[in-house]
A and B are shown apart, each in its own frame.
Chain A
């Protein structure tokens, strides 16, 4: 009976073993790269919003973060401002601008504006803004230079690894409390030295309170 395979099939079979291995490894590495890519992490890409609100414009006019994000110092959530806060100014300034039509509509109907969340943490993560603000972590440390973003985007990939970078060594990122809302704060040359001092002073961690314990974020 005739053979169905030629002798060259042996070479193909051997080569296929090699390529299967290479393909598997390349495939897994590729998946990991996709997972880490800015595309999947949605970094440096402004999100579409109902109103093209410019952080750059408002911050440079001298409005403090806390004017809109009212609860950032005392609660877990920083607070997305209510329409009333927008209308504080926009009832008189740019009051007929077509861009602000959704804001006026919200004001008239009492229906909230539905902003699209830029920093959305998984539900199994407990995150509290106030503790970070009160222990000397600047807004910019996580959110990036918001004063330079016409439309706000995600600056950091929000990997757990990224959270841990600071939780493992807060002294590298901590700043004096009065500098927390400073957009132009430059870390000093003696950051580590100052950092260690501040970590101690603000009781950021001690032997009973380790920032790397699982329950700190996964409660």
Chain B
């Protein structure tokens, strides 16, 4: 033990991986108690209530949009891309943290990921679902969304394969599919635990069906380990590819401010940045409300803050790089775009973005700030806002000043843009609350493995309560 403690302090790890006193039994009790408790805590009901109201806003905005068409949004020419794309990129970026935590950190054997991976993956799924709504609704006729897929249709034409918007379809649908399978595969052993612990027959049957006959035999475990490793390997490139493709939506065009090669890495860093911010925003309250502080320890929180700091610096480098190349390129359209960004009609949003994404997160250099959940919570929300502003600035500042001054026009979201946006936040929170209520949000068996490895005892059969 003292060995590992020394190693931890050299690596600057904050506190232990798990609080002492956790046993194989107590972990199972703690995590399943969230589901089997008689009544959910009051904050759960409050969030569910707010989320339901926001869902109403989503329904209203979508119905109105379908009745009237995309004209109810603030779109115009030249601003043909507005909130729909901003929100799409924002949501899909948030999803990336989940995949990074569950796949890449798994391959790198980062044990601290264990306590948050399922939660983050669920966040990924719901964020991708929210993201998917925007391009679909932007189609104008979302009911023919299947035209996006290449299939031998009665139209006799194929989608334009040279368009990054078609690449998006593949990137996002692959991402969603792999994320669902990965999440579900990791869930199976815990669903079996749920089945065994369920207090009534219906619960047993439902959890039993989803557990797919998991008995925990050595053969099951062996197959599980192989499958999980393969899926982690499959998900790893997706962390990079999905947001790279999203960035190509912009970079492949010839708009000043979009037409840059730095976009793919800069977008990926931004995605992970915003994703970790969202995990922190959600996890900080959840761990304290459900008494999971001994499993999701300060060490995990601290590590997430560090990743946020690192990716935040990459993103900030991206901003500086954009400014530098606007000058260094000698291209007058580029330099005009950058000057206009800083001093034009969207200057406020730009400087807010620099403040939220570049300046304030520098506080994360201080251990005291990282160790204080309240300050971390506030910073994570600021980063979420900053990342939204970043996409807004990218989309709007390039479009609203076109090459020809006669086509210039300003952009602002209408009430329906905002209604749809906060509506998807409602959808996201609603889904998260249902997830917390019905699914073990922390992988019980993986935490047990850590305890098992720690205590170096053989895994005994668990006594059922």
Which residues of A does B touch, CB under 8 Å? Answer: 1, 4-5, 9-10, 13, 35-36, 157, 159-165
Return the 9 tightest CB-CB contacts between A and B, nearest first: A161-B156, A160-B155, A159-B154, A164-B156, A10-B213, A4-B204, A161-B154, A4-B208, A5-B208
Most central of A157, A161, A162, A163 by chain B CB within 10 Å: A161
Q: Are A5 and B156 in contact (CB under 8 A)?
A: no
* Chain A residues within an 8 Å CB radius of B201: 4
* Chain B residues within an 8 Å CB radius of A36: 154
* Chain A residues within an 8 Å CB radius of B154: 35-36, 157, 159-161
Give Cα A104–Cα B153 distance, bound, in whole angstroms: 46
Shortest Cβ distance from residue A158 to the other chain B in the assembled complex, whole angstroms: 10
* Chain B residues within an 8 Å CB radius of A1: 196, 464
B212 an interface residue at 8 Å Cβ cutoff?
A: yes
Which residues of B does A touch, CB under 8 Å? Answer: 153-157, 195-196, 201, 204-205, 208-209, 212-213, 464
Q: Are B213 and A159 in contact (CB under 8 A)?
A: no
Whose C-beta in chain A lies nearest to the C-beta of B156?
A161
Shortest Cβ distance from residue B434 to the other chain A in the assembled complex, whole angstroms: 23
Give Cα A163–Cα B201 distance, bound, in whole angstroms: 59
Q: Which of B156, B205, B208, B213 has a CB less than 8 Å from the CB of A160?
A: B156
Give Cα A163–Cα B156 distance, bound, in whole angstroms: 9
Given contacts A4-B201, A161-B153, 10 further A-B contacts (CB under 8 A): A1-B196, A4-B195, A10-B213, A13-B212, A159-B155, A159-B156, A161-B155, A163-B156, A164-B155, A165-B156
Give Cα A159–Cα B156 distance, bound, in whole angstroms: 8
Give Cα A67–Cα B156 distance, bound, in whole angstroms: 36
Q: Are A160 and B204 in contact (CB under 8 A)?
A: no
Shortest Cβ distance from residue B300 to the other chain A in the assembled complex, whole angstroms: 34
Give Cα A160–Cα B154 distance, bound, in whole angstroms: 6
Q: Are B208 and A164 in contact (CB under 8 A)?
A: no
Whose C-beta in chain A lies nearest to the C-beta of B154?
A159
Q: Are B212 and A164 in contact (CB under 8 A)?
A: no
* Chain A residues within an 8 Å CB radius of B208: 4-5
Q: Are A160 and B212 in contact (CB under 8 A)?
A: no
Shortest Cβ distance from residue B382 to the other chain A in the assembled complex, whole angstroms: 44
Shortest Cβ distance from residue A213 to the other chain B in the assembled complex, whole angstroms: 12
Shortest Cβ distance from residue A91 to the other chain B in the assembled complex, whole angstroms: 46
Whose C-beta in chain A lies nearest to the C-beta of B198?
A4
Whose C-beta in chain B lies nearest to the C-beta of A158?
B154
* Chain B residues within an 8 Å CB radius of A13: 209, 212-213
* Chain A residues within an 8 Å CB radius of B209: 13
Give Cα A163–Cα B157 distance, bound, in whole angstroms: 11
* Chain B residues within an 8 Å CB radius of A161: 153-156
Give Cα A56–Cα B464 distance, bound, in whole angstroms: 84
Give Cα A161–Cα B157 distance, bound, in whole angstroms: 7
* Chain B residues within an 8 Å CB radius of A9: 213
Shortest Cβ distance from residue A114 to the other chain B in the assembled complex, whole angstroms: 27
Most central of A4, A159, A163 by chain B CB within 10 Å: A4
* Chain A residues within an 8 Å CB radius of B205: 4
Most central of A13, A157, A163 by chain B CB within 10 Å: A13
Most central of A5, A10, A35, A157 by chain B CB within 10 Å: A5
Q: Which of B153, B155, B213 has a CB less than 8 Å from the CB of A5?
A: B213
